[in-house]
Structure 1
Amino acid sequence: MTDARTLGEMTPALRALRLLAAEYSHLPAPFVHLSPVDAARLELSLHDVDLTSDTFAVFEVWREALGIAPDSVIFRVQGNGRTRVLRAEGTFGGVEVALTAYADAPAADTTAVGGAA
């Protein structure tokens, strides 16, 4: 933790964000979080990207672009089973990067076994 006090002290994370914008401007935009508490960390999150894209597929594209290993991905469910979450961490442009994707869980199948009503 670096506990930056000025915008200039956040240069490592800002530089990594600039590299992302230059290299991957064609990818769907994630939410970006930078904090002066840790100037060497960049957090990217994807929230139901749009109605035509699978948020987890977009997560995979970003994970590959960032060079984060597939085996570092963690899956969990939150919100009483209503939200699926993928999370992975790695390094890009000299800073720690956390990539998180949130997607609605599919509705539970309520069809009775054997087609009985």
Structure 2
Amino acid sequence: MSSLTMTDLAAPMRALRLLAADFPDLPAVNVAISRIYPGQLELACHDGFDVFETWRQALGIPLESVTYTELEEVPTRVLEASVDYAGIQLCLIGYSRSHHPVERQKAVA
């Protein structure tokens, strides 16, 4: 991988600044900017799906573009969606504890 500079991360940082200015009253979320994906900003909601839904609506992400998965290792449900925002890919992720752990299927020989 070539050596990146902070300039290479400027686009997601600008997008984060816009989010803070445009949506100051929305719930705080975890934010990730990575040099591995310099054109991406990740917002992670660990406080349940209500926070995810608030952000999804504010960002205008269509409900049909949201994917749902369950983690088998831990009883956690995950919602994910992405949208182009301010010239970057914004990834919105929501985590919620599952009330019913996923049952693992065991193959019978």
> Fold conserved (TM > 0.5)?
yes
In structure 2, the gaps of 5 or more residues are 102-109
Identity %: 38
Q: Does 1:78 align with 2:77?
A: no
Name the SS for the 2:40 alignment partner.
Answer: strand
Alignment partner of 2:87 out of 78, 90, 94: 94
Question: What TM-score, normalized to structure 1?
Answer: 0.77
Shift, 1:81, TM fit: 6.1
Distance 2:99 2:77 in 1: 9
Note if contact 1:30-1:44 (Cα within 8 Å) is conserved in structure 2. Answer: yes
Shift, 1:16, TM fit: 0.4
Name the SS for the 2:38 alignment partner.
Answer: strand
In structure 1, the gaps of 5 or more residues are 50-54, 109-117
Note if contact 1:4-1:10 (Cα within 8 Å) is conserved in structure 2. Answer: no
Note if contact 1:42-1:97 (Cα within 8 Å) is conserved in structure 2. Answer: yes
Question: What TM-score, normalized to structure 2?
Answer: 0.83
Shift, 1:38, TM fit: 2.1
> RMSD between aligned alpha carbons?
1.7
Whichever residue aligns with residue 85 of structure 1, its letter is V
Distance 2:29 2:6 in 1: 21
Shift, 1:14, TM fit: 0.5
Q: Runs (4+) of structure 1 moved beyond 2 Å?
A: none
Gap change, CA 1:15 and 1:80, over 3 Å in 2: same
Residue-pair matches, total: 100
1:47-82 alpha-carbon deviations (Å, 9 max, x no partner): 1x2xxxxx2121111011122111110111113461
